[in-house]
Amino acid sequence: MKEVKNPRKPLLYYYGIVLLILLLFNMIIAPLLVQKQVIQVDYGTFMGMIEDKNIGSVEVGNAQILFTDKEGTTIYKTGAMNDPTLTERLYAAEATFGQEIQQGTSPILSFLLSFVLPLVIFIGLGQYMGKKLMEQAGGKNSLAFGMGKSSAKVYVQSTGGIRFSDVAGEDEAKESLAEIVDYLHNPQKYADVGASMPKGLLLVGPPGTGKTMLAKAVAGEANVPFFSISGSEFVEMFVGMGASKVRDLFKQAKEKAPCIVFIDEIDTIGKKRDGQMGGNDEREQTLNQLLTEMDGFEGNNGVIILAATNRPDSLDPALTRPGRFDRRVPVELPDLKGREEILKVHAKKIKMSDNVDLHTIARMASGASGAELANIVNEAALRAVRNARTIVDQSDLEESIEIVIAGYQKKNTVLSDHEKQVVAYHEIGHALVAAMQSHSAPVQKITIIPRTSGALGYTMQVDEGDKYLMTKQEIENKIATFTGGRAAEELVFEEITTGASNDIEQATKLARAMITRYGMSEAFDMVAMETVTNQYLGGDTSLVCSADTQNEIDKKVVELVKRQHEKAASILRENREKLDELARFLYEKETITGEEFMEILDEKGGRVQ
Ligand code: ADP
Ligand code: ZN
């Protein structure tokens, strides 16, 4: 365990410095007071004293001469003159030469001046810098140096006038939050019935779905101050700082109530405490402080805490129990309608031509988050400017979807002729297999222009609408489509390339999920073999089965993918002519649309249903 430093301990430090300063003052001032006086005399007096042999020691400088009387009690000073015989006469007067005459500067003093003073300055500077650093870290908290009250950082922010209407889609979340707004407007209504508002609400969902926006919108609608801090800001390099920041934040919030406190990325401090040795003390202290503060204020005092996270399952149960963050507001990825609305909200900010069809764009951008959609619109506007246009059109938006999905077009990648052919066949392989299976979504666009993401080409499939359920058949067809690219390469070139690595990954993932999570294999029936651990971030899974079963699963996965691969190969074999024709067309044009693809496919022979 790390030692927990008492934040007040450095008080000693200050006493030490004060003592030192006092000491110095005494030592410097005292000698000054008892310092021997230097008497200014003219050169004549000096010569007279030489004649009287009343000279002790002499120090001849360039501009002045210092000398003492015989007893050495008084120091005299006179200007230097051009006096070549001076040395001889002084010698005759038995004066001592070459000895430095102490002008009151005692050795102790010079030691202090040359050694102790710089040290003090050094320490003082160190203190100052330390404090500055802490302020930079956001703490502004001199507690750590025992100077009492923290100079409060103001966490309150302007919400930029964000309203619910700025957040498109997410109707369920808005509904849940509208109650909070109503409460902030009229707390009495709730108090009369005896209802108390939840102290904390947890906004959970994937990144970029508008959680921060929603929190700001609540503050904006209720017209109350908005305190915002990110969980990571609590975790400081100094132990105890996080906890004092939490105290600080809540103190300010209570003063400003009613208000909204928003804690982003709460999982950084709210992770499950595992009780292991050597855990993160600082984080735990901060979390404990947060829990204490939340328990400390009564409901209905007007402070509502909103927190956001994209890993709700990693949160400490203490945080989510009743009385703390007891209401959970899911903020999911937008569906088709939601995507269209988000696009509309962001399209308002830019000049867009009338022919733009946002519905199509929304369909193409399946799976995109609100932040990505905002990005797509902005990329489109940038592209319009690049092409010296003043208005954004459909092609800008379509291209920018590809930029967001696949990266920019890579201008300097030169594929050899053969490679280009392989890529063309590969992509047509995907598209043809997809089109030939009645349940697969139609193709929107196929391109073999290399992208910065590393993709040499891709087939963009577009769902007609949102799908909430997928049948076993549909998943199998999807796997077949993923294998279609490689199948085409095998069929035509009788060789295989590295180009299918991503397809392989995706196909395997689907096949695995069918068996371990969806209960779509006879062997395991409805038994879960995997659990999803990270729902909103990639959906990692962990196995929960014996090693034997694992073996079995692996075999089943291979079987499943193999079967679909064979199916894809046979589809392509049966449609070899179409495959060649389409691949040639794509090879020449580099980008073809879904319609062009279907036209060629339907020309003669028609689709196999
Ligand atoms: P989160 O906090 O969930 O990660 P943010 O609230 O920070 O996401 O959203 C980032 C940006 O994405 C916003 O500034 C906004 O431009 C855009 N955005 C996200 N969701 C929406 C939405 N539902 N409506 C409009 N814009 C959105
Ligand atoms: Zn592929």
DSSP state of 349: T
Lowest-confidence region among 41-55, 110-124, 226-240, 534-548: 110-124
**Is residue 169's pLDDT more than 70?**
yes
Which-ligand-closest: CA of 500?
A: 2
> Side-chain half-sphere of 47: how many Cα atoms within 13 Å?
9
Measured in Å, residue 246 CA sits from the centre of ligand 1 at 26
pLDDT one-digit tens code per residue, 489-504: 999 999 899 888 889 9
Residues of the chain with CATH 3.40.50.300: 153-273+282-330
Which CATH code fits 417-602? 1.20.58.760
Out of 147-156, 310-319, 431-440, 502-511, least confident range? 147-156
Residue 360 binned pLDDT confidence (cut-offs 50, 70, 90):
confident
Q: Is the dihedral of CA 271, 276, 282, 285 positive or negative?
A: positive
Atom of ligand 1 at shortest distance to CA of 210?
6
Q: What average pLDDT does the segment 218-226 reach?
A: 87
The residue contributing the CA closest to ligand 1 atom 27 is 370
CB atoms within 10 A of CB 343: 25
* Cα distances (angstroms) measured from residue 97 to each of 39, 90, 344, 548: 19, 9, 96, 102
Active site residue 427: yes
Average pLDDT over residues 376-400: 91
CA 357 to ligand 1 centroid distance, Å: 22
DSSP states of 60-73 as a string? E-SSEEEEE-TTS-
Q: How confident is the model at residue 153 (pLDDT cuts 50, 70, 90)?
A: low
Going by pLDDT thresholds of 50, 70 and 90, the confidence category of residue 377 is very high
If DSSP codes are grouped into helix, strand and coil, which group holds residue 330? strand
Ligand number nearest to the C-alpha of 455:
2
Give, using CA atoms, the residue closest to atom 7 of ligand 1. Answer: 212
Least-confidence region, from 110-114, 456-460, 583-587: 110-114
Taking the centre of ligand 1 as the mean of its atom positions, its distance from the CA of residue 411, in whole angstroms, is 32
Tokens of residue 390, six digits:
């003043």
**Bridge-based pairing state of the strands 58-60 and 64-68:** antiparallel
Q: DSSP label at 112? A: I
Q: What is the mean pLDDT of residues 349-372?
A: 87
Give me the pLDDT at residue 239, please.
65
Where do you find CATH 1.20.58.760 in the chain?
417-602
Query: Ligand 1: which of 209, 306, 329 to mutate, judged by most atoms within 8 Å of the beta carbon?
Result: 209
Taking the centre of ligand 2 as the mean of its atom positions, its distance from the CA of residue 459, in whole angstroms, is: 8
One DSSP character per residue, 452-476 reads TTS-S-EEEE--SS--S---HHHHH
SS3 116: helix
Which tens digit of pLDDT belongs to each residue from 281-314?
777 788 888 888 888 776 667 788 899 998 888 8
Distance CA 118, CA 584 (A): 82
Instruction: Report d(CA 590, CA 598) in Å as an integer.
Output: 16
Higher pLDDT pick, 305 / 367: 305
pLDDT (0 to 100) of residue 609: 42
How does pLDDT run across 540-581, given as a tens digit for each residue? 777 788 888 889 999 999 999 999 999 999 999 999 999 999
Q: Which atom of ligand 1 is nearest to the CA of 371?
A: 12
Between 60 and 144, the more confident residue is 60
Per-residue model confidence (pLDDT) at position 361 = 87
Average per-residue pLDDT for the chain: 79
Catalytic residue among 170, 265, 427, 490: 427
| CATH superfamily of the domain spanning 153-273+282-330 | P-loop containing nucleotide triphosphate hydrolases (3.40.50.300)
Q: For the whole model, what pTM was predicted?
A: 0.64
Q: Are 229 and 264 in contact (CB under 8 A)?
A: yes
Residue whose structure tokens are 């990825």: 333
Per-residue model confidence (pLDDT) at position 307:
92
Instruction: Please tell me the number of the ligand nearest to residue 230's CA.
Output: 1
Residues lining ligand 1, Cβ inside 6 A: 167-170, 207-213, 308, 342, 345, 370-371, 374
**Would you list the DSSP string of 551-579?**
HHHHHHHHHHHHHHHHHHHHHHHHTHHHH
Classify domain 39-104 by CATH architecture. 2-Layer Sandwich (3.30)
Nearest ligand 1 atom to the CA of 205 is: 3
74-88, 144-158, 230-244, 518-532: least confident range: 144-158
**Alpha carbon separation from 473 to 55, 520, 529 (Å, rounded):** 119, 10, 21
When pLDDT is averaged across residues 117-132 and rounded to a whole number, the result is 66
- How many whole angstroms separate alpha carbon 555 and alpha carbon 561? 10
- Give the residue range(s) of CATH 1.10.8.60 domains in the chain: 336-404
Tokens standing for residue 534: 């990270």
What is the phi/psi pair of residue 350, to 5°?
Answer: -125, 160
- In order, the DSSP letters of 14-69 are HHHHHHHHHHHHHHHHHHHHTPPPEEE--HHHHHHHHHTT---BEEE-SSEEEEE-
What whole-number distance in Å separates Cα of residue 511 and Cα of residue 599?
32
Q: Which CATH number fits domain 336-404: 3.30.1330.10, 1.10.10.10, 1.20.1070.10, 1.10.8.60?
A: 1.10.8.60
Please name the residue whose Cα sits nearest to atom 6 of ligand 1. 210
pLDDT higher than 70, residue 256? yes
Q: Is the pLDDT of residue 277 over 80?
A: no
**Ligand 1 centroid to residue 108 C-alpha, Å:** 68
Q: Where in the chain is the domain with CATH 3.30.720.210?
A: 39-104
